[in-house]
A and B are shown apart, each in its own frame.
With several copies, the nearest count.
Chain A
Amino acid sequence: MINEAEIRAAFPLLKRELHNTPIVYLDTAASSLQPQRVIDAMSHYYANSHANVHRGVYGTAEEATGLYEGARHAVGSLIGSKHPAQEIVFTKNTTESINLFVNSWGGTKLGPDDAVVISIMEHHANIVPWFVLQERIGFELRWIGVDGNGELMLDNLDELLTGAKVLSVTAMSNVLGTINPIAELAAAAHRHGAIIHVDGAQSVPHLPVDVDALDIDLMSFSSHKMLGPTGIGVLWARREILTAMPPFLTGGGMILDVRTDGFTPADGPSRFEAGTPPIAEAVGVAEAARYLKELGLDAVRDHEQALTAYALDRLFDAFGDELTVHGPRDVARRGGVISFTLGEVHAHDIAQILDSHAVCVRPGHHCAKPLMRHLGVPATARASFGVYNTTADADALVEGLRDAAKLFA
């Protein structure tokens, strides 16, 4: 169970006011807030242990190295990685993680006769890198469709996977909230001899995720969406897969040797971590992972699911047919991301009016333009919940929307 008062007290930004009204933060799908202990962990690191990692022998360099390597364990333990020291690569965000995977793995394993399967509901981060690689290599890119309920259309999955080498799909849509059946997709991919890469940007912060139980091969996610700092992301990959991947970014820290005629890359995650890594950020995301683990992802999920159910009820009660919510109505099949349109009011105007009520939602295409085209809307307003949100926040959303509806009546 989530203790609301305790949790809210842990997040300093919730004390913020906008237009003299306490902030109602409903944009966690874009970026979460950070608890004070995460902020403090980083400040403490800078003030006490900062040094560059890996090559120092003095006290603080050892501490920094221990904290940085230890962060792989904290993060790995959150997602059920059995060998975090060999499987957790730190990047700068989900987007870099996916670029790294696509270029390193895809760039060496894919040929012009191969196929890659993604879905229409992917974030641009899991679309554009494939386009760029496709231009170079020329494989076929196949799209899993989305049905009227906002769920993946899987009846032709076997067909799509025939001849495919990789399935890359999001675990939770950042627009629809849809929770995709990753275990099922992983089994299907493996049946066809393909590997599966999961975009976990929205799932890792909000659902219990166990990479072993799901039997997936790689997963990308971002610290800043899981109560951690900006500037760091994660690529988790099974050891066998990571070991076979060539470097992507290159420079210091990822080499065994450099001569004037070539270089030999290092083993393990450091092969993919060229240059000085985000050290303080690793300290921060480790603290965020510990915090999430203490809260328990089951409890986080329960809290957010109940809140989503409450919010959807209140919204439909208030606006009826004027309101269109994209994505599943069944809260067991969706996370706390509510994308909606309200009559003729444009998403941008909705967000502007809500801001005057200190309610923070995001308008736009949410970096998922293929999905928006499919939905036939140029933009939606999106309210998204974090563990620190309450039914009072959902009420504030409804009240703000009444104002918008009135202004544009």
Chain B
Amino acid sequence: MADLEELYREIILDHYRSPRNRGELASPPAHRTEGFNPLCGDEIVVTIDVLDGVLQDIKIAGQGCSISQSSASLMSGAVKGKSIPDVRSTIATFKTLMLSHESHLGDGDAEPEAVDLKSLGELAALQGVVKFPVRIKCATLGWNTLTQALDEAGA
């Protein structure tokens, strides 16, 4: 059951119980994007406010399991106030962490890269997810939604 404790770390349960940056920004002016996991029904709504190349504000709504909701909450804290390139690079780092397992199931093209866990800060708490392949989709839902929001907002 060691794996299970790695999955449900205290920090994850805390973000699930008390999600940060919860709610929706008024849109417009903010950009609003919905993400959806058809297999389990989890939903994440990301609203972002981009100005001068910086993610000025972000809010998260939706519902779902502890992993999808806490991951989105952790994400909001990690990207808020950052420049768009920094946001994109944080997303990329996080996805690489998740991919270190997914590549087994994927097309097999991508070689897993080493991830600098320190650079992820609190986000590193999500690394336990990697041992639970079906939960990776939960953990990445918010991140994929944010990427889509950035793309749609032309940021």
Residues of chain A touching chain B, judged by Cβ–Cβ distance below 8 Å, are 19, 54-57, 62, 65-66, 69-70, 73, 82-86, 255-257, 266, 346-349, 352-353, 356, 363-365, 369, 372, 378-379, 407-408
**Is B66's CB under 8 angstroms from A408's CB?**
yes
The answer to whether A19 touches B1 (Cβ under 8 A) is yes
Closest CB in chain B relative to A395 CB, distance in Å: 19
In the bound complex, CA of A408 to CA of B66 (Å): 9
The answer to whether A379 touches B40, judged by C-beta atoms less than 8 angstroms apart, is yes
Residue in contact with A348 in the complex, picked from B13, B43, B106, B138, CB distance below 8 Å: B138
B57 at the interface (CB under 8 A from A): no
Residue B24 at the chain A interface, CB threshold 8 Å: no
Please name all residues of chain B whose beta carbon is closer than 8 Å to the beta carbon of A349 when the two chains form the complex.
8, 65-67
Q: Is the CB of B40 within 8 A of A364?
A: yes
Q: Judge whether A352 and B63 touch: CB under 8 Å.
A: no
Kindly name the residue among A56, A57, A66, A82 whose own CB sees the greatest number of chain B CB atoms within 10 A: A57
Determine whether the beta carbon of B43 is less than 8 Å from that of A378: yes
Q: Which residues of A contact B105 (CB under 8 A)?
A: 66, 69-70, 85
A348 (CB) vs chain B CBs: closest residue: B65
> Across the interface, do B133 and A54 meet the contact criterion of CB distance under 8 Å?
no
Q: CA separation between A47 and B105, bound complex, in Å?
A: 23
**In contact, B13 and A408 (Cβ under 8 angstroms):** yes
Contact yes or no, A356 B39, CB < 8 A: no
> In angstroms, how far is the closest chain B Cβ from the Cβ of A40?
24
Partner pick for B135 among A255, A352, A356, CB 8 A cutoff: A352
Residues in B neighbouring A255, C-beta threshold 8 A:
38
Verify A378–B107 contact, CB threshold 8 A. Answer: no
B154 touches A (CB below 8 Å): no
| A85 and B107 contacting across the interface, CB-CB below 8 Å | yes
A109 and B31 alpha carbons, distance in the complex (Å): 36
Closest Cβ of chain B to A263, distance in Å, is 11
Complex-state Cα separation, A54 to B37, whole angstroms: 12
A356 touches B66 (CB 8 A): no
Tell me if B1 and A346 are in contact (CB < 8 A).
Answer: no
Beyond A255-B38, A257-B36, 15 extra complex contacts between A and B, CB < 8 Å: A19-B1, A54-B39, A65-B134, A346-B65, A348-B67, A348-B138, A349-B8, A349-B65, A356-B4, A365-B40, A372-B41, A378-B63, A407-B8, A407-B13, A408-B66
Nearest residue (CB) in A for B68 is A348
Q: Which residues of chain B come closer than 8 Å to A364, judged between CB atoms?
A: 39-41
Query: What is the bound-complex CA distance between A55 and B64, given in angstroms?
Result: 15
What chain B residues lie within 8 Å of A84 (beta carbons)?
Answer: 107
Q: Is the CB of B36 within 8 A of A256?
A: yes
B107 A83 Cβ-Cβ under 8 A: yes
A168, B137: Cα distance in complex, Å: 35
> How far apart sit A364 and B65, CA to CA, in the bound complex (Å)?
10
Q: Which of A83, A85, A348, A363 has the most CB of B within 10 A?
A: A348
Cβ of B36 and Cβ of A55 under 8 Å apart?
A: no
User: How many angstroms from the CA of A265 to the CA of B43 in the assembled complex?
Assistant: 17
Q: Which chain B residue shows the least CB distance to A254? A: B38
Residue of A nearest to B69 (CB): A346
Q: Are B108 and A62 in contact (CB under 8 A)?
A: no
In the complex, chain B residues whose CB is within 8 Å of the CB of A372: 41
Contacting pair A73 B1 (CB below 8 A): no
Interface membership of B3, Cβ < 8 A: yes
Is the C-beta of B60 less than 8 angstroms from some C-beta in chain A? Answer: no
Residues in A whose Cβ lies below 8 Å from that of B67? 348-349
With the chains together, A408 CA to B15 CA distance in Å?
A: 12
B:1-34 near A, CB below 8 Å: 1, 3-4, 7-8, 13
Nearest-neighbor residue (CB-CB) of A270 within chain B: B38
Q: For the complex, what is the distance from the CA of A266 to the CA of B137, rounded to whole Å?
A: 15
**Judging by beta carbons under 8 Å apart, are A356 and B1 in contact?**
yes
Given known A85-B107, A255-B38, contact A57–B64 (CB-CB < 8 A): no
Q: Do the beta carbons of A62 and B134 come within 8 Å of each other?
A: yes
Instruction: Report A-chain residues with C-beta under 8 Å of the C-beta of B1.
Output: 19, 356
Q: What 5 pairs between A and B have smallest CB-CB spacing?
A: A348-B65, A346-B65, A356-B4, A256-B38, A378-B41
Q: Which A residues touch B41, using CB under 8 A?
A: 364-365, 369, 372, 378-379
Q: How far is the CA of A347 from the CA of B39 in the complex (A)?
A: 12
- Contact present for A57 and B38 (CB under 8 Å): no
Given contacts A346-B64, A408-B13, are A352 and B43 in contact (CB under 8 A)?
no
B133 touches A62 (CB 8 A): yes
Instruction: Give B141 Cβ to nearest chain A Cβ, in Å.
Output: 11
Q: What's the nearest-Cβ distance from chain A to residue B59, in Å?
A: 20
5 A-B residue pairs with Cβ-Cβ distance under 8 Å, sorted by A, are A54-B39, A69-B105, A348-B138, A356-B4, A365-B41
Known pairs A57-B135, A408-B13; A348 contacts B40 (CB<8 A) = yes
